[in-house]
């Protein structure tokens, strides 16, 4: 795969289908699975347009929900993107809403994370003294700024005229292990801790990207209210077994259709933005001590 870009998008299987049909980038060639010291990556594709190009990595596979969140090979995926020369990643995820202020179909730019995962390798440098880094801003401020610009300037025509998107500039994302959904008691606990969203995919992605000194930001789309936030009966055989009302499902679907344009606007903003954040210096103290010169090589020392 020829490297012509420093941008990447991480999403699920439906994300690929949406991007492919969005018109702001043509798919170039076949997907590539990249061999890494941590196993094979998920499929990676190159998209290209007249304004910018980017890699797309399908987190869960391209033929449906093939790999659930606990079993995604996050280290292989991030290592592969680093090897391809990626510097900035826009991730998208569809968590549940803990905060009643967030409605299904709303967009959120998370600014912080509570890690409740249990069994996911989250360190490239096992067996070494490397990787002890700050997490004062788990999500890159420059990527968040580009995503905020995309959401704040996005408008879509329709029968009712111009439509402004409902979005939230901040949010605390609680990442659980899964694949089961959370209990009402867990959601109440997360709410008391200050959690706004609950999902299963951004950890350890965000932390691993920082270890590789890549910028990482996420655009979240609220897919439902978390368990217990709104009283809902059980409906067998339906998505989330009845946690999503029909009108909420319609709102989510409408917002999903807007995602490609939002992602495109965010990537366009990043393509013209000089990289001045601190993400690329996360491992600098190790570099100054002469302990690491090449992060990819250092990540093989396990």
Q: Both ends of the chain: CA-CA distance in Å? A: 27
Q: How far apart, in Å, are the Cα atoms of 138 and each of 34, 162, 181, 220, 295?
A: 26, 34, 24, 15, 19
Alpha-carbon distance of 131 to 133, in angstroms, equals: 6
Largest CA distance in the chain: 62
Pick the range with the lowest mean pLDDT from 91-105, 238-252, 285-299.
238-252
| Planar angle of CA 199, 267, 226, nearest 5 degrees | 15
Model confidence at 134: pLDDT above 90: yes
pLDDT tens figures, 186-206: 999 999 999 999 999 999 999
State the Cα angle at 133 between 169 and 175, rounded to 5°: 45
Residue with tokens 């995309």: 150
| Distance in angstroms (rounded) separating the CA atoms of residues 283 and 212 | 8
Domains of the chain: 7-298 (3.40.50.1580)
| pLDDT computed for residue 185 by the predictor | 98
117 C-beta neighbours (distance < 10 Å), count: 16
Higher pLDDT, 253 or 30: 253
pLDDT in tens, 144-183: 999 999 999 875 544 444 557 899 999 999 999 999 999 9
More confident residue, 122 or 301: 122
Contacts of 40 (CB under 8 A, 6+ apart): 33, 34, 73, 76
Instruction: State the average pLDDT over residues 230-238.
Output: 73
Report d(CA 144, CA 264) in Å as an integer.
Answer: 14
Is 167 within 8 Å of 109 (Cβ atoms)? yes
Token code pair at residue 97: 């809403």
Q: How far apart, in whole angstroms, are the C-alpha atoms of residue 216 and residue 230?
A: 32
Distance in angstroms (rounded) separating the CA atoms of residues 253 and 257 = 7
The Cα 9–Cα 11 span in angstroms is: 6
- Considering only 2-6, 70-74, 266-270, which range has the smallest mean pLDDT? 2-6
pLDDT for 24 equals: 57
CA–centroid distance for 97 within its chain: 16
Nearest to 94 by CA among 226, 2, 209: 226
């Amino acid at each position: 795969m020829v490297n012509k870009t420093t941008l990447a998008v991480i999403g699920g299987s439906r994300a690929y289908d949406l991007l492919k049909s969005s018109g702001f980038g043509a798919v170039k060639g076949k997907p590539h699975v990249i061999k890494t010291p941590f196993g094979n990556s998920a499929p990676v594709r190159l998209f290209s347009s007249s304004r910018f190009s980017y890699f797309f990595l399908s987190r869960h596979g391209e033929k449906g929900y093939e790999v659930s969140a606990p079993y995604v090979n996050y280290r292989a995926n991030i290592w592969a993107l680093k090897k391809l020369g990626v510097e900035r990643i826009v991730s998208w995820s569809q968590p549940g809403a803990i905060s009643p202020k967030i409605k299904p179909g709303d967009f959120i730019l998370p600014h912080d994370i509570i890690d409740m995962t249990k069994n996911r390798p989250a360190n490239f440098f096992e067996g070494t003294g490397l990787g002890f880094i700050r997490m004062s801003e788990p999500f890159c401020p420059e990527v968040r700024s580009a995503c905020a610009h995309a959401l704040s300037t996005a408008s879509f025509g329709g029968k009712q005229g111009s439509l402004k998107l409902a979005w939230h500039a901040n949010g605390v994302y609680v990442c659980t292990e899964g694949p089961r959904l959370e209990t009402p008691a867990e959601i109440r606990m997360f709410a008391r801790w200050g959690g706004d969203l609950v999902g299963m995919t951004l950890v350890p992605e965000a932390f691993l990207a920082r270890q590789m000194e890549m910028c990482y930001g996420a655009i979240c789309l609220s897919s439902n209210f978390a368990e217990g936030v709104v009283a809902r009966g059980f409906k067998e055989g339906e998505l989330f077994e009845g946690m999503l009302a029909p009108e909420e499902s319609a709102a989510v679907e409408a917002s999903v259709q807007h995602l490609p344009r939002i992602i495109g606007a965010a990537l366009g903003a990043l393509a013209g933005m000089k990289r001045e954040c601190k993400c690329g210096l996360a491992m600098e103290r190790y570099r100054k001590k002469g302990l690491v010169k090449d992060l990819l090589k250092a990540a093989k020392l396990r």
